[in-house]
Amino acid sequence: MSQPRWLALAWGDLGVAETPGAVHTARIVRFYADVGHAEIKADETAWCAAFLGSCLERAGLASTRSLMARSYLTWGQPHVEFRPGAVAVLSRTADPALGHVGFLVGETADSLILLGGNQRDSVSVAAYPRARLLGLRWPSPVIPEAEASAEAIRDLPADPGFARALAHVLQMEGGWTDDPYDPGGPTNFGITLATYARDKGADLTADSMAVLKAELRSIPRATVRRIYRQRYWRPAACPQLPAALAFFHFDAAVNQGVTGAARLLQEAVGAEVDGEIGPETLGKAAARPLAQTLPLYAEARRRHYRSLSTFWRFGKGWLARVDRTLSAARAIAQAPPSPSQQQEPPAMTDTTHQPPAAPDSKWWGQSMTIWGVILTGLSTVLPAVGPLIGLDITAELIRQLGDQIVVLVQAIGGLIGTILTIWGRARATTALERKQLTMNL
Protein backbone atom coordinates (compact mmCIF):
# COMPACT_ATOMS: atom_id res chain seq x y z
CA MET A 1 0.00 0.00 0.00
CA SER A 2 1.36 3.42 -0.95
CA GLN A 3 1.87 5.90 1.83
CA PRO A 4 1.44 9.68 1.79
CA ARG A 5 4.49 11.87 1.54
CA TRP A 6 4.19 13.23 5.10
CA LEU A 7 4.27 9.69 6.49
CA ALA A 8 7.35 8.85 4.43
CA LEU A 9 9.06 11.93 5.87
CA ALA A 10 8.06 10.85 9.37
CA TRP A 11 9.63 7.40 8.88
CA GLY A 12 12.80 9.18 7.79
CA ASP A 13 13.12 10.67 11.29
CA LEU A 14 12.57 7.37 13.11
CA GLY A 15 15.03 7.13 16.01
CA VAL A 16 15.61 10.88 16.51
CA ALA A 17 15.78 11.28 20.29
CA GLU A 18 16.33 13.88 22.98
CA THR A 19 19.86 14.42 24.23
CA PRO A 20 20.21 14.14 28.01
CA GLY A 21 21.70 17.07 29.90
CA ALA A 22 22.33 20.61 28.72
CA VAL A 23 22.90 19.63 25.07
CA HIS A 24 19.82 19.62 22.84
CA THR A 25 19.15 17.59 19.70
CA ALA A 26 19.36 19.96 16.73
CA ARG A 27 16.86 17.92 14.71
CA ILE A 28 14.17 18.30 17.36
CA VAL A 29 14.88 22.02 17.65
CA ARG A 30 14.38 22.16 13.88
CA PHE A 31 10.90 20.65 14.27
CA TYR A 32 9.92 23.67 16.36
CA ALA A 33 11.26 26.07 13.74
CA ASP A 34 9.40 24.29 10.94
CA VAL A 35 6.09 25.15 12.60
CA GLY A 36 6.95 28.74 13.46
CA HIS A 37 8.48 28.34 16.93
CA ALA A 38 12.10 29.13 16.24
CA GLU A 39 12.36 30.78 19.64
CA ILE A 40 12.41 27.32 21.29
CA LYS A 41 15.96 25.98 21.56
CA ALA A 42 15.49 23.16 24.09
CA ASP A 43 14.32 19.64 23.28
CA GLU A 44 12.56 19.19 26.63
CA THR A 45 9.50 21.17 25.50
CA ALA A 46 6.68 18.80 24.50
CA TRP A 47 7.28 18.20 20.83
CA CYS A 48 4.80 15.60 19.51
CA ALA A 49 2.81 18.33 17.73
CA ALA A 50 6.00 20.01 16.51
CA PHE A 51 7.18 16.77 14.93
CA LEU A 52 3.84 16.02 13.27
CA GLY A 53 3.50 19.61 12.04
CA SER A 54 7.03 19.58 10.66
CA CYS A 55 6.27 16.47 8.61
CA LEU A 56 3.13 18.06 7.21
CA GLU A 57 4.88 21.33 6.42
CA ARG A 58 7.76 19.57 4.67
CA ALA A 59 5.19 17.63 2.63
CA GLY A 60 3.64 20.88 1.42
CA LEU A 61 0.65 20.94 3.78
CA ALA A 62 -0.24 23.64 6.26
CA SER A 63 -0.13 22.41 9.84
CA THR A 64 -1.88 24.10 12.76
CA ARG A 65 1.53 25.54 13.69
CA SER A 66 0.58 24.89 17.28
CA LEU A 67 2.47 22.93 19.93
CA MET A 68 -0.83 21.75 21.41
CA ALA A 69 -1.75 18.22 20.32
CA ARG A 70 -5.47 18.92 20.54
CA SER A 71 -5.18 21.73 17.99
CA TYR A 72 -5.37 18.95 15.37
CA LEU A 73 -8.95 18.12 16.36
CA THR A 74 -10.04 20.94 14.03
CA TRP A 75 -7.37 20.41 11.35
CA GLY A 76 -8.22 18.95 7.96
CA GLN A 77 -11.39 16.88 7.83
CA PRO A 78 -12.79 14.09 10.04
CA HIS A 79 -11.80 10.52 9.22
CA VAL A 80 -13.39 7.39 10.66
CA GLU A 81 -11.63 4.37 9.23
CA PHE A 82 -8.09 3.03 9.36
CA ARG A 83 -5.77 4.68 6.87
CA PRO A 84 -1.97 4.87 7.13
CA GLY A 85 -0.91 8.43 7.76
CA ALA A 86 -4.15 9.62 9.36
CA VAL A 87 -3.58 12.07 12.20
CA ALA A 88 -4.68 10.53 15.50
CA VAL A 89 -5.37 12.83 18.46
CA LEU A 90 -5.36 11.19 21.90
CA SER A 91 -6.18 12.31 25.41
CA ARG A 92 -3.46 12.49 28.07
CA THR A 93 -4.52 12.30 31.72
CA ALA A 94 -7.83 13.84 32.77
CA ASP A 95 -6.71 17.36 31.87
CA PRO A 96 -8.82 18.49 28.87
CA ALA A 97 -5.98 20.73 27.68
CA LEU A 98 -3.42 17.93 27.36
CA GLY A 99 -3.10 15.39 24.60
CA HIS A 100 -0.87 13.46 22.24
CA VAL A 101 -0.81 13.37 18.45
CA GLY A 102 0.84 11.06 15.93
CA PHE A 103 0.41 9.30 12.60
CA LEU A 104 -1.69 6.14 12.50
CA VAL A 105 0.32 3.21 11.11
CA GLY A 106 -1.44 0.15 12.53
CA GLU A 107 -4.19 -1.13 14.79
CA THR A 108 -5.25 -4.10 16.90
CA ALA A 109 -8.54 -4.91 18.56
CA ASP A 110 -7.69 -2.78 21.58
CA SER A 111 -4.91 -0.49 20.43
CA LEU A 112 -3.84 2.05 17.85
CA ILE A 113 -0.24 1.98 16.61
CA LEU A 114 1.21 5.45 16.13
CA LEU A 115 4.40 6.76 14.59
CA GLY A 116 5.05 9.97 16.46
CA GLY A 117 7.44 12.31 18.18
CA ASN A 118 8.12 12.58 21.89
CA GLN A 119 7.11 8.94 22.35
CA ARG A 120 9.51 7.80 25.07
CA ASP A 121 11.49 10.98 24.25
CA SER A 122 12.07 9.97 20.65
CA VAL A 123 10.48 9.50 17.22
CA SER A 124 9.22 5.97 17.59
CA VAL A 125 6.33 3.55 17.07
CA ALA A 126 4.11 2.92 20.09
CA ALA A 127 0.71 1.39 20.91
CA TYR A 128 -2.02 3.37 22.68
CA PRO A 129 -5.43 2.24 24.01
CA ARG A 130 -8.30 2.94 21.64
CA ALA A 131 -10.20 4.46 24.57
CA ARG A 132 -7.85 7.45 24.45
CA LEU A 133 -8.72 8.33 20.84
CA LEU A 134 -10.35 11.76 20.53
CA GLY A 135 -10.42 11.94 16.75
CA LEU A 136 -8.87 10.94 13.43
CA ARG A 137 -8.16 13.64 10.85
CA TRP A 138 -7.10 13.67 7.22
CA PRO A 139 -5.86 16.61 5.12
CA SER A 140 -8.54 18.60 3.34
CA PRO A 141 -8.40 18.31 -0.46
CA VAL A 142 -5.55 20.37 -1.88
CA ILE A 143 -5.78 22.18 -5.20
CA PRO A 144 -3.01 20.74 -7.43
CA GLU A 145 -0.35 23.23 -8.41
CA ALA A 146 -1.24 22.77 -12.07
CA GLU A 147 -4.76 23.99 -11.31
CA ALA A 148 -3.72 26.82 -9.05
CA SER A 149 -4.45 29.53 -11.57
CA ALA A 150 -5.93 32.86 -10.63
CA GLU A 151 -9.34 31.53 -11.64
CA ALA A 152 -9.05 28.26 -9.72
CA ILE A 153 -7.78 29.72 -6.46
CA ARG A 154 -9.66 32.97 -6.22
CA ASP A 155 -11.50 33.41 -2.96
CA LEU A 156 -13.01 30.03 -2.10
CA PRO A 157 -15.26 31.21 -0.55
CA ALA A 158 -15.05 34.92 -1.36
CA ASP A 159 -13.10 36.70 1.35
CA PRO A 160 -12.74 40.43 0.74
CA GLY A 161 -10.95 40.82 4.07
CA PHE A 162 -8.15 38.50 2.96
CA ALA A 163 -7.93 40.11 -0.49
CA ARG A 164 -7.59 43.57 1.06
CA ALA A 165 -5.01 42.44 3.62
CA LEU A 166 -2.98 40.55 1.00
CA ALA A 167 -2.91 43.56 -1.33
CA HIS A 168 -1.47 45.63 1.51
CA VAL A 169 1.15 43.02 2.42
CA LEU A 170 2.30 42.66 -1.19
CA GLN A 171 2.66 46.42 -1.39
CA MET A 172 4.72 46.44 1.80
CA GLU A 173 6.90 43.48 0.83
CA GLY A 174 7.65 44.37 -2.76
CA GLY A 175 9.29 41.92 -5.15
CA TRP A 176 12.54 39.98 -5.18
CA THR A 177 15.17 40.73 -2.52
CA ASP A 178 18.31 38.89 -1.45
CA ASP A 179 19.84 41.12 1.22
CA PRO A 180 22.76 39.39 2.99
CA TYR A 181 21.69 41.07 6.26
CA ASP A 182 18.14 39.75 6.03
CA PRO A 183 17.85 36.63 8.25
CA GLY A 184 15.00 35.44 6.01
CA GLY A 185 17.35 35.13 3.07
CA PRO A 186 16.12 35.32 -0.54
CA THR A 187 12.52 36.57 -0.62
CA ASN A 188 9.95 37.26 -3.30
CA PHE A 189 6.59 38.94 -2.57
CA GLY A 190 7.42 38.46 1.09
CA ILE A 191 7.78 34.66 0.78
CA THR A 192 11.14 33.41 1.94
CA LEU A 193 13.07 30.66 0.24
CA ALA A 194 12.63 28.41 3.29
CA THR A 195 8.86 28.89 3.23
CA TYR A 196 8.72 28.19 -0.49
CA ALA A 197 10.77 25.02 -0.05
CA ARG A 198 8.48 23.77 2.74
CA ASP A 199 5.45 24.51 0.60
CA LYS A 200 6.90 22.36 -2.17
CA GLY A 201 7.91 19.64 0.26
CA ALA A 202 11.52 20.04 -0.84
CA ASP A 203 14.62 20.00 1.33
CA LEU A 204 16.61 23.23 1.16
CA THR A 205 20.19 22.11 0.65
CA ALA A 206 23.26 23.46 -1.08
CA ASP A 207 22.41 21.30 -4.09
CA SER A 208 18.75 22.40 -4.35
CA MET A 209 19.19 26.07 -3.48
CA ALA A 210 19.92 27.36 -6.99
CA VAL A 211 16.90 25.63 -8.50
CA LEU A 212 14.58 26.72 -5.69
CA LYS A 213 15.80 30.33 -5.92
CA ALA A 214 15.06 30.36 -9.64
CA GLU A 215 11.57 29.00 -9.01
CA LEU A 216 10.94 31.53 -6.25
CA ARG A 217 11.92 34.42 -8.53
CA SER A 218 9.16 33.37 -10.96
CA ILE A 219 6.60 32.14 -8.42
CA PRO A 220 3.03 32.37 -9.81
CA ARG A 221 0.76 34.90 -8.16
CA ALA A 222 -1.78 32.12 -7.53
CA THR A 223 0.81 30.23 -5.51
CA VAL A 224 1.64 33.38 -3.57
CA ARG A 225 -2.02 33.78 -2.75
CA ARG A 226 -2.42 30.18 -1.64
CA ILE A 227 0.67 30.27 0.57
CA TYR A 228 -0.46 33.44 2.31
CA ARG A 229 -3.92 32.08 2.90
CA GLN A 230 -2.85 28.62 4.12
CA ARG A 231 0.27 29.56 6.10
CA TYR A 232 -0.55 33.00 7.50
CA TRP A 233 -4.17 34.18 7.20
CA ARG A 234 -5.78 31.04 8.58
CA PRO A 235 -3.11 29.88 11.07
CA ALA A 236 -3.06 33.41 12.52
CA ALA A 237 -6.85 33.16 13.15
CA CYS A 238 -7.49 36.28 11.07
CA PRO A 239 -10.97 35.10 9.93
CA GLN A 240 -12.06 35.11 13.59
CA LEU A 241 -10.93 38.68 14.31
CA PRO A 242 -12.69 42.01 13.67
CA ALA A 243 -11.92 43.22 10.14
CA ALA A 244 -9.57 46.07 11.07
CA LEU A 245 -7.70 43.96 13.61
CA ALA A 246 -7.42 41.04 11.17
CA PHE A 247 -5.88 43.42 8.64
CA PHE A 248 -3.26 44.63 11.12
CA HIS A 249 -2.62 41.17 12.59
CA PHE A 250 -2.10 39.56 9.17
CA ASP A 251 0.63 42.08 8.35
CA ALA A 252 2.32 41.31 11.68
CA ALA A 253 2.05 37.54 11.12
CA VAL A 254 3.77 37.87 7.75
CA ASN A 255 6.54 40.15 8.96
CA GLN A 256 7.01 38.89 12.52
CA GLY A 257 5.85 35.28 12.30
CA VAL A 258 2.50 33.70 13.14
CA THR A 259 3.53 32.85 16.69
CA GLY A 260 5.31 36.15 17.27
CA ALA A 261 2.28 38.08 16.04
CA ALA A 262 0.02 36.02 18.30
CA ARG A 263 2.12 37.02 21.30
CA LEU A 264 1.98 40.69 20.33
CA LEU A 265 -1.79 40.53 19.85
CA GLN A 266 -2.23 38.86 23.24
CA GLU A 267 -0.13 41.57 24.85
CA ALA A 268 -2.31 44.24 23.22
CA VAL A 269 -5.66 42.77 24.31
CA GLY A 270 -4.55 41.68 27.78
CA ALA A 271 -4.72 37.91 27.22
CA GLU A 272 -2.27 35.31 28.45
CA VAL A 273 0.82 35.56 26.26
CA ASP A 274 1.46 32.01 25.07
CA GLY A 275 1.53 32.38 21.26
CA GLU A 276 -1.65 30.31 20.88
CA ILE A 277 -4.77 32.19 19.76
CA GLY A 278 -7.69 30.51 21.48
CA PRO A 279 -11.08 31.45 22.96
CA GLU A 280 -9.57 33.77 25.58
CA THR A 281 -7.60 35.82 23.05
CA LEU A 282 -10.49 35.96 20.58
CA GLY A 283 -12.93 36.95 23.30
CA LYS A 284 -10.76 39.77 24.58
CA ALA A 285 -10.01 40.96 21.05
CA ALA A 286 -13.75 41.18 20.34
CA ALA A 287 -14.56 42.90 23.65
CA ARG A 288 -11.89 45.59 23.66
CA PRO A 289 -12.54 48.68 21.47
CA LEU A 290 -10.38 48.80 18.35
CA ALA A 291 -9.47 52.38 19.20
CA GLN A 292 -7.57 50.95 22.18
CA THR A 293 -6.28 47.69 20.69
CA LEU A 294 -4.76 48.98 17.46
CA PRO A 295 -2.35 51.56 18.97
CA LEU A 296 -1.34 49.12 21.71
CA TYR A 297 -0.64 46.43 19.11
CA ALA A 298 1.32 48.91 16.99
CA GLU A 299 3.47 49.93 19.95
CA ALA A 300 4.13 46.27 20.80
CA ARG A 301 5.35 45.72 17.24
CA ARG A 302 7.63 48.75 17.45
CA ARG A 303 9.18 47.50 20.69
CA HIS A 304 9.81 44.11 19.14
CA TYR A 305 11.50 45.61 16.10
CA ARG A 306 13.73 47.79 18.26
CA SER A 307 14.91 44.70 20.14
CA LEU A 308 16.25 43.01 16.99
CA SER A 309 19.94 43.04 16.12
CA THR A 310 19.21 44.13 12.54
CA PHE A 311 17.16 47.17 13.58
CA TRP A 312 20.04 49.41 12.57
CA ARG A 313 19.58 48.34 8.96
CA PHE A 314 15.83 47.68 8.59
CA GLY A 315 14.36 49.62 11.52
CA LYS A 316 13.31 52.72 9.63
CA GLY A 317 11.39 50.66 7.10
CA TRP A 318 9.84 48.46 9.79
CA LEU A 319 8.54 51.43 11.77
CA ALA A 320 7.19 53.08 8.63
CA ARG A 321 5.41 49.83 7.81
CA VAL A 322 3.74 49.77 11.22
CA ASP A 323 2.59 53.38 10.80
CA ARG A 324 1.14 52.74 7.34
CA THR A 325 -0.58 49.54 8.43
CA LEU A 326 -2.02 51.23 11.51
CA SER A 327 -3.38 54.09 9.42
CA ALA A 328 -5.03 51.68 6.97
CA ALA A 329 -6.49 49.58 9.81
CA ARG A 330 -7.97 52.67 11.44
CA ALA A 331 -9.57 53.63 8.15
CA ILE A 332 -11.17 50.19 7.96
CA ALA A 333 -12.44 50.48 11.53
CA GLN A 334 -13.99 53.89 10.83
CA ALA A 335 -15.48 53.02 7.45
CA PRO A 336 -19.30 52.97 7.28
CA PRO A 337 -21.01 49.62 6.79
CA SER A 338 -21.16 48.31 3.25
CA PRO A 339 -24.47 48.79 1.37
CA SER A 340 -25.40 45.17 2.10
CA GLN A 341 -25.06 45.82 5.83
CA GLN A 342 -27.16 48.97 5.85
CA GLN A 343 -30.91 48.92 6.38
CA GLU A 344 -33.02 49.24 3.28
CA PRO A 345 -34.61 52.67 2.84
CA PRO A 346 -38.35 52.85 3.39
CA ALA A 347 -40.48 52.06 0.37
CA MET A 348 -41.13 55.04 -1.87
CA THR A 349 -44.73 56.26 -2.02
CA ASP A 350 -46.31 57.92 -5.01
CA THR A 351 -47.18 61.44 -3.90
CA THR A 352 -48.41 62.70 -7.23
CA HIS A 353 -52.02 62.99 -6.06
CA GLN A 354 -51.40 63.65 -2.40
CA PRO A 355 -52.53 66.95 -0.85
CA PRO A 356 -49.88 69.46 0.15
CA ALA A 357 -48.14 68.61 3.36
CA ALA A 358 -49.60 70.37 6.40
CA PRO A 359 -47.56 71.98 9.17
CA ASP A 360 -46.07 69.46 11.49
CA SER A 361 -48.24 70.18 14.54
CA LYS A 362 -50.15 72.79 16.56
CA TRP A 363 -50.81 73.52 20.21
CA TRP A 364 -53.81 71.61 21.65
CA GLY A 365 -55.27 74.85 22.94
CA GLN A 366 -55.85 75.83 19.33
CA SER A 367 -58.08 72.82 18.72
CA MET A 368 -61.82 73.50 18.60
CA THR A 369 -62.38 69.80 19.02
CA ILE A 370 -60.72 69.79 22.43
CA TRP A 371 -62.70 72.80 23.65
CA GLY A 372 -65.93 71.20 22.49
CA VAL A 373 -65.21 68.11 24.54
CA ILE A 374 -64.34 70.23 27.59
CA LEU A 375 -67.60 72.22 27.48
CA THR A 376 -69.61 69.07 27.03
CA GLY A 377 -67.99 67.57 30.10
CA LEU A 378 -68.51 70.66 32.23
CA SER A 379 -72.19 71.00 31.47
CA THR A 380 -73.19 67.35 31.71
CA VAL A 381 -70.82 65.74 34.17
CA LEU A 382 -69.97 68.44 36.71
CA PRO A 383 -73.44 68.72 38.31
CA ALA A 384 -73.38 65.00 39.06
CA VAL A 385 -69.85 64.71 40.41
CA GLY A 386 -69.44 68.22 41.78
CA PRO A 387 -70.59 67.37 45.33
CA LEU A 388 -67.92 64.65 45.50
CA ILE A 389 -65.17 67.22 45.04
CA GLY A 390 -66.69 70.04 47.10
CA LEU A 391 -68.63 71.88 44.38
CA ASP A 392 -72.16 71.75 45.82
CA ILE A 393 -75.21 73.14 44.04
CA THR A 394 -77.36 74.51 46.92
CA ALA A 395 -81.03 73.82 47.44
CA GLU A 396 -81.76 77.55 47.24
CA LEU A 397 -80.25 77.65 43.76
CA ILE A 398 -82.30 74.70 42.69
CA ARG A 399 -85.48 76.27 43.98
CA GLN A 400 -84.70 79.48 42.11
CA LEU A 401 -83.93 77.83 38.79
CA GLY A 402 -86.32 74.92 38.97
CA ASP A 403 -85.90 71.53 37.62
CA GLN A 404 -86.82 72.55 34.09
CA ILE A 405 -84.27 75.33 33.95
CA VAL A 406 -81.48 72.99 35.06
CA VAL A 407 -82.43 70.45 32.42
CA LEU A 408 -82.61 73.20 29.80
CA VAL A 409 -79.18 74.55 30.70
CA GLN A 410 -77.66 71.09 30.57
CA ALA A 411 -79.29 70.38 27.22
CA ILE A 412 -78.08 73.68 25.74
CA GLY A 413 -74.57 73.06 27.05
CA GLY A 414 -74.56 69.59 25.57
CA LEU A 415 -75.84 70.91 22.24
CA ILE A 416 -73.22 73.63 22.10
CA GLY A 417 -70.49 71.16 22.99
CA THR A 418 -71.62 68.73 20.31
CA ILE A 419 -71.72 71.50 17.69
CA LEU A 420 -68.22 72.65 18.62
CA THR A 421 -66.96 69.06 18.45
CA ILE A 422 -68.32 68.54 14.93
CA TRP A 423 -67.12 71.96 13.77
CA GLY A 424 -63.65 71.49 15.22
CA ARG A 425 -63.26 68.03 13.73
CA ALA A 426 -64.26 69.31 10.31
CA ARG A 427 -61.69 72.12 10.51
CA ALA A 428 -58.85 69.98 11.89
CA THR A 429 -55.93 69.68 9.44
CA THR A 430 -52.94 69.16 11.72
CA ALA A 431 -51.81 66.74 14.38
CA LEU A 432 -52.00 67.81 18.00
CA GLU A 433 -48.98 68.81 19.97
CA ARG A 434 -48.54 68.71 23.71
CA LYS A 435 -47.67 72.11 25.22
CA GLN A 436 -47.22 73.01 28.83
CA LEU A 437 -49.94 75.33 30.24
CA THR A 438 -49.45 77.10 33.57
CA MET A 439 -52.40 78.44 35.54
CA ASN A 440 -52.09 80.61 38.65
CA LEU A 441 -55.03 80.25 41.04
pLDDT tens, residue order, the chain (441 aa):
568 889 988 999 999 999 888 888 989 988 998 888 888 888 888 899 999 999 998 887 888 888 999 989 988 888 777 889 999 999 998 888 889 999 999 999 899 999 999 999 999 999 999 999 999 998 876 444 333 333 334 444 457 889 999 999 998 888 888 878 777 788 888 888 888 888 877 788 888 888 888 888 888 888 899 899 988 998 888 988 999 999 999 999 999 888 899 999 999 999 998 888 888 898 899 999 999 999 999 999 999 999 998 899 888 999 999 999 999 999 999 877 554 444 433 333 333 334 444 444 444 444 444 545 454 455 555 555 555 555 554 444 444 544 454 445 455 555 665 565 555 555 555 454 554 544 444
Burial class (CB in 10 A: 0-12, 13-18, 19+), 403: exposed
Pairing of strands 362-363, 432-433: parallel
Looking at the domain covering 5-138, what would its CATH class be? alpha beta
| Angle of the 290-306 helix axis to the 243-256 helix axis, nearest 10 | 10
Q: Residues 258, 36: contact at Cβ < 8 Å?
A: yes
Domain 159-335 fold is Chitosanase, subunit A; domain 1 (1.20.141)
**Which 8-state DSSP code applies to residue 365?**
G
Q: Is 161 helix (H, G, I), strand (E, B) or coil?
A: helix
Instruction: Decide: 162 and 155 in contact? Cβ < 8 Å.
Output: yes
Backbone φ, ψ for residue 91 (5° rounding): -80, 160
Distance of CA 198 to the CA centre of its chain: 28
**DSSP for 187-216?**
EETTEEHHHHHHHHT----TTTHHHHHHHH
Q: Tell me if the pTM is above 0.75.
A: no
What is the rounded CA–CA span in Å between residue 85 and residue 3?
A: 7
267/261 Cα distance (integer angstroms): 10
Taking the domains of the chain in order of start, what are their residue ranges? 5-138, 159-335, 362-433
Alpha carbons within 13 angstroms on the beta-carbon side of residue 98 total 6
